[in-house]
Amino acid sequence: MMVLIWGFMKDLKRSSSINFCLLSLFIWVISFSSLRFTYSQSNTSDSFPILFYNVENLFDCYNDSLTNDEEFLPDGDRHWSFYRYNIKVNKIAKVILASNQWDLPVLVGLCEVENKTVLNRLVWETGLSEQGYRFIHHESPDRRGVDVVLLYRKDKFEIISERAIPVTLSEKNFFTRDILYVKGIAFGEDTLHIFVCHFPSKYGGAMHSEWKRVYVAGKLRKVCDSLFSVSKDCSIVVMGDLNESPQSEAVYNSLRARGENSGADLINLAYSYKSDGVGGTIKYRGAWDIFDQIIVSKPLLNEPFETEGMSVVNLPFLLEPDKSYSGVKPFRTYLGPQYHGGFSDHLPVKIVIRKE
């Protein structure tokens, strides 16, 4: 319909500039009214969408002398310019806005974000600027300077407290991202405990680095246990790039996040994921895996709550043909050192919590 209207407007513009202006104003009013109505519908619903996204090296293009960000500078190996940086930020905003149709995510966990400069640009200078998002971010000891972040809609989630949970072991020369912990109020009355994570990568070999992910998962488990000791019915949401499959030692045994029928108190919703055109969130040498996961405590699956199983956001513009193997793969920003102009090497994941 909009295509037809736009074609009519082009014809009308050639015949009468005054009529064109009037029609343009009319369509803008109708569109704005429809948009406000649609958003007001979603804002009054008892739904609480949550999104997690590894945004693949969301760096600014300015040098930080305290981190190893040299490759993401205009004269660095990747020739990371302000133009490319600006395109990347707007692409991430597009994904957030399109991820759950008109019912925008209330919480958005991000990882691989460099700093507050990037976040201010994302929240205030893109299409997100009118949606009431704010962010929580702490600088972590990660050597590359990438951190985890929580975006939240201030009209839907009230912050009670927040802190960074360090997981670094200096005696082993192990420096990685902190776990971000945020406590807040959802649905106007319910306390949620949110954890945003980015477990250590498999750089140097999966087996050689496994102890790092096991250690971070164990640290997270201890914090969850402390919450359960206060209230076994507390509502917990863990989201992150865990750099492991749901069945791994770190996730299954150290964090003890398992399937819904396992009797576990932390339920990994990645187990309920059913392939809808893509087999996971990341693809390596033709094989899909689910590194990006959302985990909830059992009370969020029981009345008065209902939580949908985790789904992968596989919007068409996030994918491209996999010419080396088959099917599709994430449309990423870089292919090795070569700029590719896409979004990320990961796909986002989401859940929706509803309250009766």
CA distance 351 to 49: 6
Q: What percent of the chain has pLDDT over 90?
A: 78
Q: Are 51 and 107 in contact (CB under 8 A)?
A: yes
CA distance 33 to 41: 12
Buried b (16+ CB within 10 A) or exposed e, 48-58: bbbbbbbbbbb
Segments in the chain forming alpha helices (H): 2-15, 17-44, 82-98, 116-124, 206-230
Query: What is the SS3 assignment for 288?
Result: strand
Would you say residue 29 has pLDDT above 90? Answer: no
Quote the pLDDT of residue 30: 39
What pTM was computed for the model?
A: 0.87
Quote the pLDDT of residue 288: 96
Quote the pLDDT of residue 107: 98
Q: Report the range of poorest mean pLDDT among 54-63, 200-209, 215-224, 331-340.
A: 200-209
Would you say residue 327 has pLDDT above 70? Answer: yes
Quote the pLDDT of residue 15: 37
How many residues make up the chain in this entry?
Answer: 356
Q: Report the range of poorest mean pLDDT among 45-54, 153-162, 214-223.
A: 45-54
Residue pLDDT, tens place only, 169-193: 988 889 999 999 999 999 999 999 9
Quote the pLDDT of residue 45: 52
Please give the average per-residue pLDDT across 267-276, as a whole number.
Answer: 89
Question: Mind giving me the DSSP string for 225-245?
Answer: HHHHHH-TT-EEEEEEE-SS-
More confident residue, 296 or 3: 296
Mean pLDDT over each residue of the chain, to the nearest integer: 88
Q: Give 22's pLDDT tier (boundaries 50, 70, 90).
A: very low
Q: Number of helices (H) and strands (E), helices first, in the chain?
A: 5, 21
Would you say residue 39 has pLDDT above 70? Answer: no
Please give the average per-residue pLDDT across 79-93, as a whole number.
Answer: 97
Cis before residue 321, ω within 30 degrees of 0? no
Residue pLDDT, tens place only, 190-235: 999 999 999 999 888 888 899 999 999 999 999 999 999 999 999 9
The top-scoring range by mean pLDDT among 13-27, 56-70, 116-130 is 116-130
More confident residue, 296 or 12: 296
Would you say residue 150 has pLDDT above 90? Answer: yes
Which residue in 139, 113, 135 sits closest to 123, CA to CA? 135
Q: Which residues pair with 237 in a beta bridge?
A: 194, 296
Would you say residue 8 has pLDDT above 90? Answer: no
Place of tokens 């912050």: 159
Which residue in 268, 199, 272, 241 sits closest to 344, CA to CA? 241
